[in-house]
């Protein structure tokens, strides 16, 4: 009886340890593409920046969780983020934001929020609008 109890106790401890590892190491994949409608080729110096951000607090700037940046921008520009699920807090709102700059001047930006559903693997299509000068 003692051995059975020890085995059962060891099994429960091991199972809870393993399930804790699986949860803490779970990754969230956020992927999609950023595009713009304007029929222009951008110079190679143009830079696209794509961010995953926490926008939960209304009176505070968004908190950047992850960021992807590259030059030689094309449309569409695919993106993929693999982020540890532990970085996301329950009840918070997360979005993807993007912008294209040239020599640190804003050229394109998303004008609407692209909300992230952490339980969905559907790609997100982010439309950028040309900034008026």
| In the chain, where the domains are located | 27-130
Average pLDDT over residues 18-45: 79
In this prediction, residues 50-75 reach a mean pLDDT of 92
Class of domain 27-130: mainly beta
Question: pLDDT-derived band of residue 20, with 50, 70 and 90 as boundaries?
Answer: very low
Question: Confidence band (pLDDT; 50, 70, 90) for 40?
Answer: confident
DSSP conformation letters of the chain: -HHHHHHHHHHHHHHHHHHHHHHHT-EEEEEEEEEE----PPPTT-EEEEEEEE---TTSPPEEEEEEEEES--SSEEEEEEEEGGGSPTT--EEEEEEEEETTEEEEE--S-EE--TT----EEEEEEEPP-
pLDDT the model gives residue 25: 58
Q: Which of the two residues, 115 and 16, has the higher pLDDT score?
A: 115
The pLDDT, as a whole number, for residue 5 is: 39
């Amino acid at each position: 009886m003692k051995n059975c109890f020890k085995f059962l106790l060891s099994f429960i401890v091991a199972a809870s340890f393993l399930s804790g590892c699986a949860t803490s190491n779970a990754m969230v994949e956020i992927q999609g593409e950023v595009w713009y409608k304007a029929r222009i080729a951008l110079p190679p110096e143009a830079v696209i920046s794509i961010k995953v951000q926490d926008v939960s607090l209304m009176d505070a700037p968004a908190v950047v969780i992850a960021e992807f940046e590259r030059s030689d921008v094309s449309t569409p520009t695919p993106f993929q983020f693999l982020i540890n699920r532990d970085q996301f807090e329950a009840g918070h709102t997360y979005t993807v934001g993007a912008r294209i700059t040239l020599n640190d001047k804003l050229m394109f930006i998303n004008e609407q929020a692209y909300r992230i559903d952490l339980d969905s693997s559907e790609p997100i299509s982010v439309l950028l609008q040309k900034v008026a000068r």
